[in-house]
A and B are shown apart, each in its own frame.
Chain A
Amino acid sequence: MHAFIRLVARDVRLTLREGGAVSTALGFYLVVVAILPLGLGPDLNLLSRIAPGVLWVALLLAALLSVERIFHNDLEDGTLEVIALGPLPLELVAAAKALAHWISIGLPLVIAAPILALLLNLPANAFWILLLTMVTGTPAISFLGSVGAALTLGLRRGGLLLALLVLPLYVPVLVFGISAMNAVITGPASFLSSYLILCALTLATVVLAPIAAAAALRLSLA
């Protein structure tokens, strides 16, 4: 457990120290959300109706930008080899690194979402739901992303392939995240049923994704 926490702390510190990843993700999120109303025109009703979808899709894309870095830098400078010989099994290494990605990239994006929601005229009663569903759903984004990152490890320009691999896997999270929000904004569907499925998706991903990612890591270490 001690080593696990150390590894998470190291990855978070590295991401913050290298700086680029967090600000790029936040900047991308801002630009995508800000550009959409310009394209769609100033129809406030339309904007508030599509706000949940736009906020979620843009968040997915912004998080995807940095998913590749989860393992890539460590493979390139050899630290992955040393980590692999450490006390943690590769499954826990993958979990720690995905968790660190969520803390350093996922959480800042979640915190930015309500601010960007102002641009889209999101109904006032939906702000807390936005935060809640995103905090619940974003771990799944980081953990699923870690599988894609491990699979495309060592490929030149693997980023695009990574997006192709991972984006379809994000669909359930997207669907239930948005439907939980729409249940509150427009009704009459139940918020709880969608939200609980979102929770289940995240929990299942957190358990299963590290196993898949570790299998892929073993291949790229060989």
Chain B
Amino acid sequence: MAMLETKQLSFTYPDQKQPALDNVSLSVEPGEFVILCGQSGSGKSTLLRLIKREIAPHGKKEGDLFYKGQPLEKTPPLKVSKKIGFVFQDPENQIVMDQVFDELIFGMQNIGMETDEMRKRIAEITHFFGIHHLLKKETHVLSGGQMQMINLASILLMEPEILLLDEPTAHLDPIAAKDFLHIVGRMNREFGMTVIMVEHRLEDVLSFADRLIVLEEGRILKDGPVRQVINQLSDEKNHTFSYLPAPVQLYFHYSTNKQVEEIPLTIREGKKWVQQLNVRLREIPKKSVSRKQTIYSLENVDFRYEKRGDNILKACHLSVQEGEWLAIVGANGTGKSTLLKVMAGILRPQRGWVKVNGKMLRGTIPEIGYVPQNPKLLFSSDTIYEELSNQIPINNRDKGRKKLTELITFFNLESLLNRHPYDISGGEMQKVAIASVLLSSPKILLLDEPTRGLDPTAKRELGTLLKKLQEQNMTIVTITHDIEYAASFADRCAMMFQGAITVQSPTEEFFKGNHFYTTMINRMTRGSNVPEVITVEEAKEKWDLEEE
């Protein structure tokens, strides 16, 4: 009997003509690990929420949902509440309690469990997760990854049979994301838990999953075993191609003899396949790199938040050339965000200096535009149009208005102008935030983690837009966890470690010089018989396949 089944399920939000879900029929067997993917607005979150009855959206629903052969509506509420668990995207917002321990028992208290039973289950889960050291902490001191672990643990304590996860790693750094997915994979393998996960970061989950479902405009586009579905997405012209992990993309581009079982889901499989290739390096005329002027320079910068606190930045040196795109990468807690705030003039260093165009930076200046990690904290108006027009500098109204019209076209914001800044998608929010910062005509744009939580299409769009800005001689500095993104777009990369920049070099050199902190394609091609590359694009540019 299927664990979960939907039959001709359709759903339309109030005041919307287009249905969010259109005739979705699928059946999930016990113990299956299913990945749902698709663009934002494809209905994947709606589907997931409809399965979790307590948080189902309001609107018009047609069709049926079955849990173990029984209509979901008729299953007792307490039972479904226990048996279907849900992990949300934002690690921090899901937390309800001040203390980790209280957070863990929250769900169990809701279903009226006795103290002794709660104690027993907590003891078990603590061992399984290895979270003894967190039990006595307050929730707000945890890192994003730890928070998400606690959220998962709190749900597992209710002993669910089905685990629903809505982009659970979108806000985590790559290491924390891997740890999290690993635990979910273990729950599936070792306990046979049924898992349905919405996820964009396919590279880390494909090897765990049994089945991949692609949604588009509320319909099921593809549904089947992972490799088969991937094989069906192999058409490069289709936008769904960008969902595939880089090794898979490389495989489809170069494999002469495509075989479903051979599609590389892990680096190991990729390496094996790459060995079969016979590649000659194409001669590419070296691009003449014109020495540009240094626009930013940081010398010996120290910064700490508290008088007696640790230095977050320690003797940090960095220089940025005019018109380049610099990506600052590095793990969480290495001081990346602090560095960007120092560069924006928001924080003043205790030691050392920051120079912009040869002038000392003291406080914020109009030449520098800063976009924070969470664009929400920029917004204070009811509509996007109002939000943007409030940002027009007072001294030059006419020019500002002209600029506003240009930016609206550039970022394609026409249809959003009357919406509330909170009612749009993450990618759109990011664009509005950048547009509002650009209104004061900065020369340098500082972006803190701009791709966090965006789907691959939105990421690509943002990247292309920023590239266009760069062509207009904008200097761009981004902080990012997303190595693949940095590798595809940035001109230069810098690695942050313990409050200082350890390496900074042109992107290609940077990743080829790293052993662990590098792109998948680089890990796959390094030390193999094919020329080392870091992205699919680079391979396309440099590789010539020799027929055997």
Q: Tell whether A and B belong to one assembly.
A: no
Residues of A within 8 A of B (CB): none
Residues of B within 8 A of A (CB): none
